[in-house]
Structure 1
């Protein structure tokens, strides 16, 4: 099988020296990639510069991206040529549009005009005591996958923080249905530590529990190749 995996966290640029980043190490994606490589599968890992990565392997292809835009451009052709896509990357929900000092924002009679502006400086001035940063929503990458390749098997991730299990499962099920995924890994940030990672891999009929990253990688491998 040809396996496509994303890992790490995207970074959205404010100017040439500042950005908004998602704090994801890529460690789970690394373990998943290694699990498939161990069993002889071809793996393409789309990741970020700062993410941890597997050692070089004859059947491993590494591609680095930065932001959501570069992620979409990279994934579109790859999704069309792979059998299974495991989307574990932490993708930014918003990207910067324009940053200005508080006085300009307060004086603006029409905020939509500010949303049409772009910062031209390589480094936005830090002279002002307060700055206002306008953000716009990024496309949901997982929602595009089945448009690109209706036949690809898709395993997505849903991360919430400090919620009841019923709420976590409901959010994961909604993502499962809306994105036509085969499985969603539901996890809560409050249950992730250096040594543990409590998560549930679920579809509409089944739910599998794991307590560590190696257990998650094993579960995803087993379900990913189940119908191969």
Structure 2
């Protein structure tokens, strides 16, 4: 972190407030200047004096305090801020930010802040999964705010679940990615694909797979945070678009192929994280196929879909990087190595989706990263955002190596 970067830390009413004290300490150690804003609910858990001692700055709690007679307090603090961090962020403050409510010092100052904002939710899993909370988080992301994924673990209520505030060290890692700086990916034109394509059988049925799109979305978000100009070409998912990413929605494999080959002409990097349907019906019925009382079986003839990476390999020019994914259930390294060579890829991200917690439709993954001139790199099982960072690290190193 740049020395004396101005960080405004907003602390709201959660049992996780104690972690914000450790976060304050880490920010100070990194060289940042820190000013803390606390809600009344936060004061019920920790006193402002604790943050004042750590930050060496007065803690803002009251929008009517008028601490500086020569300035409007919340505007002065908003203008001072280079980065706003809301940790822990309760459902209450998330709802206020998403809906433009400014009725206390924290929400009022955040409303006036134009600097980047990092939101670190901390709440019970049931509150996190409430449709209103989901809508509010999606709104914040759409508005360009960065929202961290809460951790899984032992909750204050005495049972396991999602909603724990990430550890201060993890938050610091995310803050570092938000620190404006030039990276090997700055200004690069990057295409990321995600989600599972759909191939119609009839108007109400289709062939698809279990892809949630989370891996591709996490990679797109990580790329954008490192300064790349990212276009995310996405088959249907239930995910909110990452902040700062251009979205292109597709449905079928052919739709995806057309979008990729069109965008690839101007691209520096292509990351094919989408789970592409390998086969499609030879023909799709115009009307719903009805069950027949005379026949208990139905045969659907399938044909191969477009081989997108094969098309891209024929278009590839010097300097362009292509990254593929391989979801396997057996002979992982052998099958992945064949794909790496046959598709003329610079990197291949392979995973064994037969293993628990790996691959499709989950929050975690474990991958092996293959490159033509290096030994395979095997990651540990981790959250997909962590895996995305490791994958993008390797892509970034490849960009540096090839100039």
Q: TM-score range by the shorter chain?
A: 0.7 to 0.9
Name the counterpart of 1:84.
269
> How far apart are 1:207 and its partner, in Å?
1.5
Structure 1 residues 207 and 6, CA, compared in 2 at 3 Å: closer, same or farther?
same
**Any stretches of 5+ residues in structure 2 without a counterpart?**
1-187
Among 204, 209, 221, the residue aligned to 2:378: 209
SS at match of 1:132: coil
CA distance in 1, matches of 2:346, 2:238: 26
1:186 is matched with 350
- Cα distance in 1 between the residues matched to 2:240 and 2:315: 26
* Aligned match of 2:340: 176
Give the RMSD, CA atoms, in angstroms.
Answer: 1.7
- Please give the per-residue CA displacement for 1:111-137, whole angstroms capped at 9, x wherever unaligned: xxxxxxx64x32122224321111111
- Aligned match of 1:200: 368
Q: Which has the larger radius of gyration?
A: 2
Match in the other structure for 2:316: 149
Partner Cα separation in structure 2 for residue 192 and residue 147 of structure 1: 37
Secondary structure at 2:355 match in 1: strand
Alignment length (residue pairs): 202
Q: Distance in 1 between matches of 2:223 and 2:338?
A: 28
Larger deviation, residues 190-199 vs 32-41: 190-199
Aligned counterparts of 1:92 and 1:175: Cα–Cα separation in 2: 16
| Cross-structure match for 1:67 | 252
Distance in 2 (CA, whole Å) between partners of 1:153 and 1:17 is 38
The 1-side partners of 2:189 and 2:238 are apart by 22
Q: Distance in 2 between matches of 1:223 and 1:55?
A: 21
Alpha-carbon distance in 1 for matches of 2:349, 2:220: 16
Q: Deviations over 1:47-88 (max 9, x none)?
A: 02324243342xx11011111111111111111111000101
Q: What is the SS of the residue equivalent to 1:133?
A: coil
What TM-score, normalized to structure 2? 0.48
Task: Please say if residues 233 and 248 of structure 2, whose CA atoms lie closer than 8 Å, have aligned partners that are also in contact.
Answer: yes
- Equivalent position SS for 2:354: strand
Contact 1:7–1:51, Cα closer than 8 Å, also in 2? no
TM-score, structure 1 length as denominator?
0.82
Aligned pair partner of 1:218 in 383, 389, 395: 389
Change (3 A) 1:33 1:195: closer
Q: 1:131 aligns with which of 298, 303, 314?
A: 298
Provide the C-alpha distance between the structure 1 equivalents of 2:315 and 2:253, rounded to a whole number of angstroms: 16
Q: Determine the C-alpha separation between the residues in 1 that align with 2:395 and 2:196.
A: 23
Cα distance, 1:41 vs. partner?
A: 1.1
Q: Greater strand percent: which structure?
A: 1
Distance in 2, Cα, partners of 1:195 & 1:72: 27
| Range 83-92 or range 133-142, more displaced | 133-142
Higher RCO (CA 8 Å, separation ≥ 6 residues): 1
Q: Distance in 1 between matches of 2:208 and 2:367?
A: 23
Answer yes or no: is the 8 Å Cα contact 1:46–1:63 preserved in 2.
Answer: yes
